[in-house]
Amino acid sequence: MRRLLDRFGFGPGPGDVDAAVTRGFAATAAGLLNPPADVGVAATPEPDLGPEPQRPAKGDKTAKQQFAQAVQHQEVTLTSWWLDRMVAADAPLAERMTWFWHGHFATSDQKVRSPRLMQRQNATQRSLATGQFTALAKAMMVDPAMLIWLDGQQNKTGAANENLARESMELFMLGVDRYTETDVREAARALTGWVVDRDTITAQVVPRRHDNGSKTVLGTTGNLDEGSFVDVVLAQPKSPEYVVGRIWSRLVCGVAPPPQDVLERLVAAYGANRDIHATLLAITQEPTFTDSAQTLVKQPVEWVVGLMRALRVRPSQLPARSGAALLTGLRAMGQVPFLPPNVGGWPSDTAWLTTSAGLARLRVAQLLAEHADLSTVSGTASANRLAATQSLLSVDQWSSRTMAALRQVLDTPPQLVALAACAPEYVVSL
């Protein structure tokens, strides 16, 4: 049950596991997948980032600096808002899947340089997060931030730029080794002609820049455009297992692919409609999902959001300095939303377990414990504090190693809770 709340959300708050156990597994899964109106979401409306910062003229150093500051400011506003939304959402699956798609269609503001465009992409991913993958993939081909990120704007007839075409097939829709270099070159032609208007946050195809000739991609010949390109790629026999496998790798297990029979059932659920909702439901119905082997190292954002949900700490209610320290901590752990390292997204599992990230994790946990109401721990006798901490963080069971460690700080509840959040039993979603 706790695994379901971990993987289809960001982990339980205090009491959530007990409540879910009362409802039952299938009913809890159904509730996560078909949530009622979400008060937490309504209370965290998208921020208005203001107008697009004035782009500096070449060589104007002051303007360049002002632009960088304005972008930085908007980036922090947007990132803090999203973290706050992830913590506030009563039904977290929509945010969890938006977070998944952000990693899947990994786009970084480091190159886009427009938090407003990143916000638009984020909203698009959210609105299509559990719908049909076809619609999401088509939306991403003409998403303004994506077009800038993968040089779609430079891709025009007679002067193709392959970046978006290649990564779309390799990373977004099909997987490496399942297409040829010729397919890449032809696909790039299908994607020609799109230009972005940063002020209106829109992208449009300019007919004279679009290549109307015949192209052949993956054996299909015709006057392909971005929509028919997506249709051709997603119709490849290997595409469904690729997309399903990506979801599995982030929600169930990153080290091993699903067993063949499980994969076949999930692909069947994904089906001709490329239905993400149905795929997720099918995952919850697989006995393998609850198998003890399916462990995942929480990504830094998942760990920190889960911890804030457990401690009832809202990023928006932190003092400005602590809010900044939270983002610094995420950076030190290696993961800041809207700034993935490259188009392949963030790494998984043990890549997060570097020596330096371990220290950053403790610092962030200390910061959050300072701002949390720990009365359920501090208000109880020392002898009961291990159990109170276990319940606060919804950990199934402390190992004897962790109990021995935590006993050393029983008299300091903030340290106790911070250390507990760094215990292997909490860093890994078991």
Residue 291, C-beta contacts closer than 8 angstroms, at least 6 positions apart: none
For another protein (CB under 8 A), the number of binding residues is 76
The pair of structure tokens assigned to 44 is 């965290």
Q: Provide the minimum distance between the beta carbon of 11 and another protein in the complex, in angstroms, as a whole number.
A: 16
Q: Which stretch in 157-165, 218-226, 273-281, 304-312 sits in contact with another protein by CB under 8 A?
A: 157-165
Tokens 């990994």, residue located: 106
State the Cα angle at 163 between 159 and 169, rounded to 5°. 120
* Nearest alpha carbon to residue 228 among 243, 240, 216, 244: 216
Q: How far apart are CA 422 and CA 430, in angstroms?
A: 14
Q: Can you tell me which of 175, 193, 240, 306 binds another protein, judged by CB under 8 A?
A: 175
Q: How far apart are CA 308 and CA 418, in angstroms?
A: 12
Q: Can you tell me which of 77, 127, 132, 154 binds another protein, judged by CB under 8 A?
A: 154
Q: Can you tell me which of 334, 339, 370, 384 binds another protein, judged by CB under 8 A?
A: 334
By CB under 8 A, residue 288 contacts another protein: no
Phi-psi region of 397 (alpha: psi -120 to 50; beta: other; left: phi over 0): beta
Nearer to another protein, 32 or 296 (CB): 296
Q: Which stretch in 116-124, 166-174, 316-324, 370-378 sits in contact with another protein by CB under 8 A?
A: 166-174
> Helices H, strands E: what count in the chain?
24, 6
Neighbours of 122 (CB within 10 A): 24
Q: Which stretch in 134-142, 149-157, 213-221, 304-312 sits in contact with another protein by CB under 8 A?
A: 149-157
Q: Which stretch in 205-213, 228-236, 308-316, 419-427 sits in contact with another protein by CB under 8 A?
A: 419-427
Nearer to another protein, 229 or 398 (CB): 398
First-residue to last-residue Cα distance in the chain: 11
Q: Can you tell me which of 159, 206, 235, 324 binds another protein, judged by CB under 8 A?
A: 159
By CB under 8 A, residue 162 contacts another protein: yes
Q: Which 352-381 residues touch another protein, going by CB under 8 A?
A: 352-360, 362
Q: Can you tell me which of 332, 378, 384, 391 binds another protein, judged by CB under 8 A?
A: 332
* Nearest alpha carbon to residue 312 among 6, 8, 12: 12
By CB under 8 A, residue 327 contacts another protein: no
